[in-house]
Amino acid sequence: MKKLLFVSLTALLLTVFHNAKGQELKINDLEYFEKQGLNVLAYSNLFTGGFNDEKNAGIELIQHGVRTSQGGAVRLSNTPEQWDLVPEVLNRKVDRGSQSIEAVLRYEDYDFDSRVVVSARGKGVEISVYLDKPVPGKLEGKAGFNLEFLPSKYWGKTYLMDGRLHRFSRYVTGNNTTKPNSEKLKQFKGYVTSDDRGTGRFIEPLPLETGHKLLLAPDDPERTVKITSKDTDLMLFDGRVLAQNGWYVVRSVLPAGKTGKVLTWTIEPNAIKDWIREPNIGFSQVGYVPSQPKVSVIELDKNDRPQTKASIFKIDENGKATRVFSGDVESWGDYYKYHYVKFDFSSVTAPGIYYIQYGDIKTNNFIIDHNVYDEITDATSDHWIPIHMNHMFVREAYRVWHGEPFKEGYRQAPPDTDHFDLHGQGPTTDTKYKALELIPGLNIGGFFDAGDFDIETGSNISVVQNFVRIWESFKPQRDQTFVDQEQRYVELHRQDGVPDILQFIEHGAEQLVAQAEIIGHMAQTLSNSVLYNYHHLGDAASITDGLPYNPELGPYEVAADGRSSGIKDDMWAFTSRDPSRDLWAATMFASVSRALKGYNDNLSERALFQSKRLLKEATELLADQPEPPSDRRSGGADVSTNLQLYISTGEQQYADKYQELLWPALDRNLSFVIFTALQGIPHMDAAFKEKLRPYVVKYKDYIAELEEDNPYGVPIGLGNWAGSGMVVNFGTTVIRASKHFPEIIDADHAFKAANWLYGCHPYHNYSLVATAGAARPKAVFYGNNRADFSFIPGNVAPGVLFRKPDHFENYDDWPFLWGENEGTIAGNTGYLFFGSAFKELVDSPAK
């Protein structure tokens, strides 16, 4: 009996030991630390040096499926802003024997290197910072190790510093001090980075707390993190004091005059024992028409045990739910971090209100009906697009979205100027205008690019082209926006007797034709000269004072006649010539000339003239460049230009050139160029369509490859900008291809694109489009009202952002990450084109 008891106790102890060991962090095959419920990434994602601090690099914590912390690195300020310097990661080494990952970080401007070592230590990690040389004198008291925590995941929760109890506030809290600008480290090297309103001082936040043991969110086991340091003070800051997109920052200053190991932290993020992520049941929040395929893609934790069945419940008029279908759940397989299964309920066709039940999880309701897609484009066309009309006063009922911006116009950007939004003026202006000279006539028309207020010429070209495609393909007569170009006034939900799309084409063309006529070619961008103004949130009309800068006036002084000021806030035109961009403009101008004929004949004729001129000049310029055009423009801008000019003029030379360029372009980049090829079918002979057929067959193979690549069967972007645009373009191309080659391309593939946009995607099942009819659209987006944690109706999020090596995310409570939440004018008008084509597909007799 004693022997049996001893054996039993031994087995129990071994089991406990095994479970304990299983709960320790270990480096996995993807080279990050992992245990159930917790991932610790060490420099899997690097600081870019482009937009600098994008809040998605360094040491990162993914706690219970959510990336709650990032930015772990040696930084040069208490609460770094986006354009503060970031370190270059010179190398990264993984040592499985010691269970450690180390990286060497360098600040080239200060000849300053540090080595950060992250080592597994039981329930957490130890972070150590090593220096071969002491901190440079200029960085003493400034260089420190930072780790940032996402505010929205901690609001309302408590924290303790050395036992002192506090609560994280929903609103910005904390005290500040001010220091002379001379003490501020170099940020961006552009023209003007900040506006101190003449004080000559900058704001520096003070710590909320200081100590050696910090416990975050002990009241929330999913977010609990303990940080301790015996050899240095831990300071907690609220980064939102300086910028609305700031995070909570835990920081320790590196000691002066020391080398070797100069700092050590121990971080223990809590991991709930046997934690399993709740299934993400993907489905269309807009709903389904009765006849379409209906497949829910369910995302499962890899430790979860898949259910064999799922059910559809219908809600009757009395609110009673009745099971109407139960079907098999089929495994698709693993895709990056999670396992995926599919539930096909296409046989459910009766109109009504439904929800999905998978195990114990019930989704919110959705609708099956013939009209669910009728309004999917209305919010985008009625709200988002007119709100982004530049150089106009925009009103909606009691609300003014913005006054008339940039009345003072645009000045020539000086040569050799870098810009904080990744633009640059080359060694010359490429215009007749001198540096900082006013370029008259550019403050007309155009659309704000996105969450900022610049005119990105490339984006605006795409926007106007999208509008023309919509107009010529569907002739929408929708009129819900009042536009007065002379008064520079726009009012939402007020009719004026003109189709809105025509007015949008006109507004965009006014700006782009002005660039071609006044500058002589297409500008790169019209943007802010001052970083302080660039990250402006709120009314666009208040970015600048509306008065031209007068160098004879003192700072913030206004001339006696009220017509100029001493504020260097004027917008700049970046005018370095790019013949490829001129080609895209020539394409758009050719199509604009058709759309505006009979509505604005003057603008139509001017657009056609600029199309021909730019095509000729750009072709000559490209021919003189050493790099072959075919290598540089695999997308075939000149292919589309010649097609549009042929459609507009009927001149055979353009048709011949179109075909000459098209087939090599298709061979180089099928998935991108095939849409341009499909556009040519109505305007070419039958032989053209037959020659295109083999390429359409190859596109069918591409679609089949997508089915094998991921469980959603759509192109998924894995870069630093999520892939909604790719999905939209895929859906539009499928619809066009199925129209011309129904025997090859099944139009049902377009429903996969719609499902992705409306909720059937990784991470969560919210609609990525803030569209009418969606039961659960995303609650926040990155727009110019993002500081209000709101959104502009009709916005389309870039979508589910991929973080290396295997994590997808889309925050719905934190709008400030543009790669996953920022709607753009090009992306949203691309969605408007897709939505219009999709509605026509759904309404066709075959469907």
Give residue 9's pLDDT: 33
| DSSP annotation of 285 | S
| DSSP annotation of 732 | H
What does residue 497 show for φ and ψ, rounded to 5 degrees? 85, 5
Q: Which two tokens stand for residue 688?
A: 């053209």
Q: Which two tokens stand for residue 73?
A: 């690195």
Q: Three-state SS for 291?
A: coil
Q: Which two tokens stand for residue 758?
A: 């409306």
| DSSP annotation of 396 | E
What does residue 782 show for φ and ψ, rounded to 5 degrees? -90, 105
Annotate 314-383 with DSSP letters as a single string: EE-TTS-EEEEEEEEEEEEEEETTEEEEEEE-TT--S-EEEEEEETTEEPPPEEE-TTTTTTTTHHIIII
pLDDT in tens, 613-662: 999 999 999 988 876 544 344 446 689 889 999 999 999 999 999 999 99
The overall longest dimension of the chain from CA atoms, in Å, is: 105
Give the contacts of 399 (CB within 8 A, at least 6 positions apart): none
Q: How far is CA 565 from CA 100, 104, 544, 547, in A?
A: 58, 48, 11, 6
Is residue 778 within 8 A of residue 797, CB to CB? The reply is yes
End-to-end CA distance of the chain: 75
Within 13 Å of residue 679, how many CA atoms lie on the same side as its CB? 28
Domain boundaries, the chain: 18-269, 280-368, 373-577
Give residue 272's pLDDT: 97
Q: At residue 594, what is the residue type?
A: R
Task: Give the integer Cα–Cα distance in Å for 401 and 380.
Answer: 15
Q: How far is CA 61 from CA 44, 69, 224, 408, in A?
A: 11, 5, 12, 47
Give residue 82's pLDDT: 87
Instruction: Please choose, from the candidates 192, 230, 238, the residue with its C-alpha nearest in 3D space to the C-alpha of residue 213.
Output: 230
For helices 686-709 and 652-668, angle between their N-to-C axes, nearest 10 degrees: 30
- Is residue 728 within a helix (H) or strand (E), and if so which, with residue range? helix 724-740
* 780-805 as b/e: b if 16+ CB within 10 A: bbbbbbbeebebbbbbbbbbbbbbeb
Instruction: Please choose, from the candidates 217, 300, 341, 277, the residue with its C-alpha nearest in 3D space to the C-alpha of residue 36.
Output: 277
Task: Give the integer Cα–Cα distance in Å for 500 and 495.
Answer: 9
Task: Give the integer Cα–Cα distance in Å for 48 and 46.
Answer: 6
Instruction: Please choose, from the candidates 384, 368, 366, the residue with its C-alpha nearest in 3D space to the C-alpha of residue 765.
Output: 366
Instruction: Please choose, from the candidates 117, 89, 102, 101, the residue with its C-alpha nearest in 3D space to the C-alpha of residue 26.
Output: 101
Task: Give the integer Cα–Cα distance in Å for 777 and 770.
Answer: 5
What does residue 62 show for φ and ψ, rounded to 5 degrees? -115, 105
Q: What is the CATH number of domain 18-269?
A: 2.70.98
Pairing of strands 100-107, 88-95: antiparallel
Q: At residue 191, what is the residue type?
A: Y
**What architecture does CATH give domain 280-368?**
Sandwich (2.60)
Query: Which residues of the chain carry a pLDDT beneath 50?
Result: 1-22, 189-194, 629-635
Give the contacts of 272 (CB within 8 A, at least 6 positions apart): 37, 64, 221, 222
Task: Give the integer Cα–Cα distance in Å for 104 and 118.
Answer: 12
Q: Three-state SS for 46?
A: coil
Q: Cβ-count burial of 541 within 10 angstroms (0-12 exposed, 13-18 middle, 19+ buried)?
A: buried
Place of tokens 């000019």: 645
Q: Is 406 left (phi over 0), alpha (psi -120 to 50) or beta?
A: left
Task: Give the integer Cα–Cα distance in Å for 590 and 587.
Answer: 5
Place of tokens 């979205």: 401
Task: Give the integer Cα–Cα distance in Å for 87 and 57.
Answer: 11
CA 750 to chain centre: 23
Annotate 199-237 with DSSP letters as a single string: --EEEEEPPSEEESEEEE-TT-TTT-EEEE-SSS-EEEE
CA 537 to chain centre: 17
Give residue 846's pLDDT: 58
Task: Give the integer Cα–Cα distance in Å for 748 and 807.
Answer: 29
Give the contacts of 292 (CB within 8 A, at least 6 positions apart): 346, 748, 751, 842, 847
Task: Give the integer Cα–Cα distance in Å for 485 and 444.
Answer: 9
Instruction: Please choose, from the candidates 291, 411, 282, the residue with its C-alpha nearest in 3D space to the C-alpha of residue 348.
Output: 291
Instruction: Please choose, from the candidates 238, 227, 58, the residue with its C-alpha nearest in 3D space to the C-alpha of residue 151.
Output: 238
Please state, as a whole number, how many other Cβ atoms lie within 10 Å of the Cβ of residue 839: 17
Place of tokens 């090859």: 744
Q: Give the alpha-carbon dihedral of 705, 707, 710, 715, to 10 degrees.
A: 70
Instruction: Please choose, from the candidates 44, 805, 833, the residue with its C-alpha nearest in 3D space to the C-alpha of residue 505.
Output: 833
Task: Give the integer Cα–Cα distance in Å for 280 and 297.
Answer: 8
Task: Give the integer Cα–Cα distance in Å for 833 and 464.
Answer: 11
Give residue 191's pLDDT: 39
Model's pTM, two decimal places? 0.94
